[in-house]
Structure 1
Amino acid sequence: AQPIHWNYKTADLDDFLKDKEEVAFLDPSRNPFYCIQTGKHSCYGDQSRTILKSLVEFEGVNVGQLKESISVAFGPYSEYENEVNATYKDKSDVVKKVYPIKSSWRHNSIKSFLQKYKDGDQITGIEDNQMDCVVNVVCVVALYAGRPEMLDRVEEVITVTQNSDINLAVAFTAARLLEYFILHGKTPGVEALNAVLKEMVNPQRSHPQDLDRAMVGHMKKVIDEIETDHITAARKFNIT
């Protein structure tokens, strides 16, 4: 739903949308930072598609080729090249004369990756505690679900662009939950969550993280809000 992507003034957005029946493909876009054709992927969708394409072409995770694919998809000869967005801009510093830019938006981890890859750095991921990591696990888990190396492959893909303890803890939690649904079919959400949380406190679990207990605590708070409507619950967790 990129037409309403990154609207942080939620009261204004609520007022604008109150009489709208269709919001996912709103036209014209209300995105305050970038404006592209409604229905096109956001930067996160394009990154996920790039990962999927690499998995198919190379029959699994191939980190070197994935880095090259991301460089091509988001690099200087891609539709993402834009002078205004070539260096990191804090989205709180929106200047009406400049934004929204009339092209796709490079997010922070991709900008940093491109520079590190160009410089020949072996470690191209940065400490970027954003939710890209959850989106980027989806096709990896779909391919490796039920296989012992699943979390190894998730880590390889995530750390190409994001490399922090929080990124990995969140990505592994999301991967475990998605894998549970893939392997067990239609399952009530709370049942799946509880099964994953039980696994995450198992001393014998694979890929233990220092932040696993914190993740378990946060997920239990989510379960406690199961009867709360989505928007209200999201705002309780500072998700806008």
Structure 2
Amino acid sequence: MPDANADHPLELAAQRVRQLEQQALDMHDRAQLLNKEGRFTEAQEAYAAMHRLEDEASELAATVGCVVCVLGDAPQQDASAEPSLCTTDPAVFKPYYQLQPALPWPTAATAAPTTTATVPTAAGGLPEAALRGRAVGCVLGSALADAAAMGVHWMYDLGALEELAAERRPQEAGREEEAGSPGPHTGLRREHPYGWGLEFMDPPRSPFYAYASGRNSPYGEQTLALLRSLADQGGLHGGAYADTFAAVFGPDSGFDGYRDVSTKGFLRNHVRGMPPPLSGANDAQANCIARLAPLAAAFAAPAPPGPAPAPSASSAIPVPRDGADAGGPAAGLLRCVELATRVTQNTDAAVAWACVGAAVLERMLLGGSALAAVEQTLAELEGPQGRLAPHCGPLAPELAGHLRRVLQLRTTPVPEAVAELGRNCHMPNALQTPLLVVLYVEHLAAGQSGGGSGGDAGGRGEGVVLRGGGSGGGDVVQAAVLPAEAFVWGVRLAVREGGCCASRAAYVGACLGALTAGGGVGGAGGGEDLPARWVAKYTAAEQVRSWALQICEARSRASGGSVA
């Protein structure tokens, strides 16, 4: 209730904004609970009520500005949940208005020694051409998978999804798989979701928005805003990214799509005049995981040797991370993930989850297998000197436990595992379920190939193919490569489980887009090993490829070369 002592209209409006924001959070929690209970109609009504509260809060916030400044206080329950210019140290804003340039491609001089906490490398890691192929595959694979999932996004009714799958079967019967020649995987082609799936459902059936088939989901659209900013700037500039995000999704943008809780929270803070990181919403949902691919493409590099710096007393105060600070030569991936995440989701939980997801993805992009990537990231979380410590802080033990559970389930069929882990937009399952899918596909590929063609990048025999990364003389560096059709398997497995399948597919597509680069007939140049029929259906494919190549060009220039 409004404070009876607040007799100024602006104070009353500020209190109302705070009240509406809390009511929207409560309604969101209720909607999620109803979904879990299978009460889908009631859940949709709760989501609609949540959006009405969000919209009213946003309209009122435009007249209020900084709520804390108006009321002269901070909410007692969580002082960090409400942005305030009047209580924030100006030093916090500095790194968001400095360009963090795309990093040079790793070389022998920059590669870290092989340990259980770093990506295995030799002679400086993979050649630039191989890294570029994995980077483009990561970015385009993520965006493509998101678009493939959009048609059934946020469908929680598994019975309805099974009906759609039954409709799809006669359409797909007899169609040759688009991801490559049958090889040893023919047996998988006769069953759902390997022989057919729910990708690019036309017309789309999402109960929350009406997009044309081939368009990205709201998660994918947000990722493209980040990708565009990285390409335009040649790296991460938090202020420019915030401006791009507002220009794409703001009220005067002409945007005709769906604005989720995270986006509305950002826009509400932006219209208040809040700069990054105060622009970020009080949110820690799947958005922070779904948009990691462009950041990995721009900043993936072996971690420097030595212990990580100690975390600061407050997460709001910037500290040196990844061996660099604002005045150093360059910030590493995890530092840039934190900066980018806080622009739109300014919570410690969002940063922690995003950094864990980025650390796993980085290892795959640099040549490691999925299994090795998860195991090594888990080791970092469990070690107090690991590079994740400054970004995860006291959440590290909890996150480690969630990763450990994924490893325990990695050979469990995906439907059974997702039934345990969950299928919504919240953590921990918003990272657990896509990781589970990638690990299961890697396990599946090993079984189909007989498990005798190699070992994973951690040196244990798991059937992951290791292929040389270079064609010239000198040492040949091996990288984990999955068959091209593994991308299709993984995305279909991610989509078939419904719920927040677009964010799930986006992360799966990022991982498998990197792991399958060079795994088919297309080579490793720029996403050629992704399924051609899917790429043809994705309306933004060429724009995404162009932006990804711009990022690669920035890395090549930083390395002293150029992209042919």
TM-score range, shorter-chain basis? 0.7 to 0.9
Aligned counterpart, 1:96: none
Using structure 1 for the length normalisation, give the TM-score. 0.84
Q: Does residue 216 of structure 1 match 2:366? A: no
Q: Partner residue of 1:31?
A: 206
Deviations along 1:2-21, whole A, 9 cap, x unmatched? 11000122222223323423
Q: Are 1:234 and 2:423 an aligned pair?
A: no
- Which letter does structure 2 place at the counterpart of 1:191? A
Any stretches of 5+ residues in structure 1 without a counterpart? 81-102
Q: Report the CA distance shift for 1:233/1:79 in structure 2 as closer, same or farther (over 3 A).
A: farther
1:62-106 deviations in whole A, cap 9, x for unaligned? 1111111000111123343xxxxxxxxxxxxxxxxxxxxxx5211
CA distance in structure 2 between the partners assigned to 1:163 and 1:199 by the alignment: 24
- What is aligned with 1:191? 372
2:249 to 62, 67, 74: 74
Once the two structures are superposed, the pairs formed by residues 125-164 of structure 1 within 5 Å of their partners are 125-146=280-301, 148=322, 149-164=332-347
1:167 aligns with 2:350: yes
- Does the Cα contact within 8 Å between 2:263 and 2:281 map onto a contact in 1? no
Worse-matched range after superposition: 110-119 or 226-235: 226-235
Is residue 42–residue 104 contact of structure 1 (8 Å, CA) maintained in 2? no
For residue 166 of structure 2, what is the aligned residue in structure 1?
A: 18
Question: 1:139-164: CA deviations, max 9, x gaps?
Answer: 11221111632211111100111122
Asked if the contact 1:136–1:158 (Cα under 8 Å) also holds between the matched residues in 2, the reply is no
Structure 1's 9 and 193: CA in aligned 2 closer, same or farther, altered over 3 A?
A: same
Normalised by the length of structure 2, the TM-score is 0.37
Q: 1:3 aligns with which of 151, 157, 168?
A: 151
Matched residue SS, 1:159: helix
Partner amino acid, structure 2, of 1:159: R
Structure 1 residue 52 corresponds to structure 2 residue 227: yes
1:193, 1:104 → 2: CA distance? Answer: 35
Q: Distance in 2 between matches of 1:175 and 1:69?
A: 22
Give the aligned residue type for 2:289.
V
Contact in 2 for aligned 1:137/1:158 (Cα 8 Å): no
Determine the structure 2 residue equivalent to 1:225: 409
Displaced runs of 4 or more, over 6 A: none
Provide the secondary structure at the position in 1 that maps to 2:268: helix
Give, in angstroms, the shift of residue 225 of structure 1.
Answer: 1.1
| Distance verdict in 2 for CA 1:238–1:22, change over 3 Å | closer
Q: Which has the greater radius of gyration?
A: 2
SS at match of 2:156: coil
1:165 deviates by: 2.3
Q: Distance in 2 between matches of 1:112 and 1:127?
A: 7
Measure, in 1, the Cα distance between the counterparts of 2:381 and 2:297. 20
Q: Return the alpha-carbon distance in structure 2 between the equivalents of residues 201 and 22 of structure 1.
A: 38
Q: Is the 8 A contact 2:265 2:282 kept in 1?
A: no
Contact kept in structure 1, 2:361 and 2:373, CA below 8 Å: no
Counterpart Cα distance in 2 of 1:179 and 1:198: 15
Aligned partners of 1:194, 1:33: CA distance in 2, in Å? 37
Q: How does 1:77-156 map to 2 (within 5 A)?
A: 77-80=252-255, 103-122=256-275, 123-146=278-301, 148=322, 149-156=332-339
> Using the alignment, how far apart are the partners of 1:70 and 1:58 within structure 2?
14
**Could you tell me the percent identity over the aligned residues?**
30
Distance across 2 between alignment mates of 1:19 and 1:230: 22
Deviations 1:25-48 (A, max 9, x none): 111111111111101011111111
Report how far residue 200 of structure 1 moved: 1.5
Is the Cα–Cα contact under 8 Å of residues 3 and 38 in structure 1 kept in the other structure?
Answer: yes
Which residue in the other structure is 1:202 paired with? 383
Count of aligned residue pairs for this structure pair: 216
Higher relative contact order by CA 8 Å / sep ≥ 6: 1 or 2?
2
* Cα pair distance change 1:134/1:161, threshold 3 Å: same
Q: CA deviation at 1:215?
A: 1.0
Q: CA RMSD in A?
A: 1.6
